[in-house]
Structure 1
Amino acid sequence: MTAVTTPFGFASTAEEVAHGVDLTGRRVLVTGASSGLGAETARVLAGTGADVTLAVRDTAAGERVAKEIAESTDNRDVHVAQLDLADPASVAAFTDAWEGPLHVLVNNAGVMACPERYSAQGWEWQFATNHLGHFALATGLHDALAADGAARVVAVSSSGHQLSPVVWDDIHFAFRRYDPWLAYGQSKTANVLFAVEATRRWAADGITANALMPGAIYTNLQRHTEGGRGSGTVAAELIKTVHQGAATAVLLATSPLLEGIGGRYFTDCNETQVVARRTGTLNGVAKYAVDPDNAARLWDLSQELLAAAD
Structure 2
Amino acid sequence: MTFGFDTTAAEVLDGVDLTGRRAVVTGGASGIGVETARALAGAGAEVTLAVRDLTAGERTAADIVGTTANKGVRVAPLDLADRASVRAFVSGWDGPLHILVGNAGVMACPLGRTPEGWELQFATNHVGHFTLATGLLPALRAANGARVVAVSSSAHHYSPVVFDDIQYERREYAPWPAYGQSKTANILFAVEADRRWSGDGIRVNALHPGSIRTNLQRHVPREELDRMAKAALGGRPRRFKTTEQGAATSVLLATVDGGGGRYFEDCAEAPVTEPGAFSGVAPYALDPEAAERLWDVTTSLVKE
Question: Into which bin does the TM-score normalised by the smaller protein fall?
Answer: over 0.9
Map of 2:253 onto structure 1: 252
In 2: Cα distance, 1:250 partner to 1:172 partner: 32
Deviation at 1:228, TM superposition (A): 5.7
Q: Structure 1 residues 43, 236: CA separation in 2 closer, same or farther (over 3 Å shift)?
A: farther
The reply to whether residue 307 of structure 1 matches residue 295 of structure 2 is no
Contact kept in structure 2, 1:113 and 1:224, CA below 8 Å: yes
Query: Which amino acid in the other structure matches residue 301 of structure 2?
Result: L
| Cross-structure match for 1:275 | 273
How do 1:106-117 and structure 2 match up within 5 A? 106-117=101-112
- Alpha-carbon separation, structure 1, partners of 2:116 and 2:12: 40
Task: Determine if contact 1:216/1:231 at 8 Å carries over to the other structure.
Answer: no
Aligned AA for 1:296? E
Residue equivalent to 1:262: 260
In 2 relative to 1, CA 46–232 (structure 1 residues): closer, same or farther, beyond 3 Å? farther
Unaligned runs of 5+ in 2: 230-235
Deviations, residues 25-45 of structure 1 (Å, cap 9, x unaligned): 000000001111001100111
Q: How many residue pairs are counted as aligned between the two chains?
A: 298
After superposing on structure 2, the runs of 4+ consecutive aligned residues of structure 1 that deviate more than 2 Å are 227-237
Q: Which residue number in structure 1 is paired with residue 126 of structure 2?
A: 131
* Letter in structure 2 aligned against 1:243: E
Counterpart residue identity of residue 111, structure 1: V
Q: 1:150 aligns with which of 139, 145, 150?
A: 145
Partners of 2:115 and 2:160 in 1: CA distance: 24
For the Cα contact (< 8 Å) 1:150–1:260, is it kept in 2? no
Tell me the equivalent position of 2:240: 239
1:296 has 2:297 as partner: no
Query: 1:192-215 CA deviation, whole Å, 9 max, x = no partner?
Result: 000000000012211011000000
Residues 214 and 106 (structure 1), Cα distance of their counterparts in 2 relative to 1, 3 Å cut: same
Distance in 2, matches of 1:50 and 1:231, equals 37
SS at structure 1 position matched to 2:100 = strand
For residue 160 of structure 1, give the secondary structure of its aligned residue in structure 2: helix
Secondary structure of the 1:305 match is helix
Q: TM-score, normalised by structure 2?
A: 0.96
Superposed displacement of residue 7, structure 1: 2.0
Cα distance in 1 for partners of 2:94, 2:34 equals: 23
Look up the equivalent residue of 1:287 and give its one-letter code. P
Q: 2:4 aligns with which of 9, 13, 28?
A: 9
User: 1:89 aligned to 2:84?
Assistant: yes
Corresponding position of 2:18: 23
Kindly provide the CA deviation profile for residues 142-175 of structure 1, in whole angstroms up to 9, marking residues without a partner as x.
0000011210000000000000000001001001
Q: 2:50 aligns with which of 32, 55, 68?
A: 55
Alignment of 1:41 onto 2:36: yes
Deviations 1:245-282 (CA, angstroms, capped at 9, x unpaired): 11110111123xxx141000001001011123321x4x
Are the aligned partners of 1:102 and 1:145 in contact in 2 as well (CA < 8 Å)?
yes
Q: Would you say the 8 A contact 1:111–1:130 is kept in 2? A: yes
Q: How far apart in 2 are the matches of 1:264 and 1:67?
A: 34
The alpha-carbon deviation at position 284 of structure 1 amounts to 0.9
Q: What is the CA RMSD across the aligned residues, in angstroms?
A: 1.2
The residue aligned with 2:214 is 219
Taking the aligned partners of 1:185 and 1:268, their CA distance within structure 2 comes to 20
After superposition, what is the alpha-carbon deviation per residue over 1:220-256, rounded to whole angstroms, capped at 9, x for unaligned? Answer: 000011136545543655111111111110111123x
The residue type paired with residue 273 of structure 1 is: P
Identity over the aligned pairs, expressed in percent?
61
Give the distance between the partners of 1:83 and 1:37, measured in 2 at CA.
17
Select 2:156's aligned residue among 147, 156, 161: 161
SS in 2 for 1:224: coil
Unaligned runs of 5+ in 1: 1-5
Q: Kindly state the Cα deviation for residue 297 of structure 1 after the two structures are TM-superposed.
A: 0.4
Aligned to 1:3: none
CA distance 1:236–1:8, shift in 2 (3 Å): same
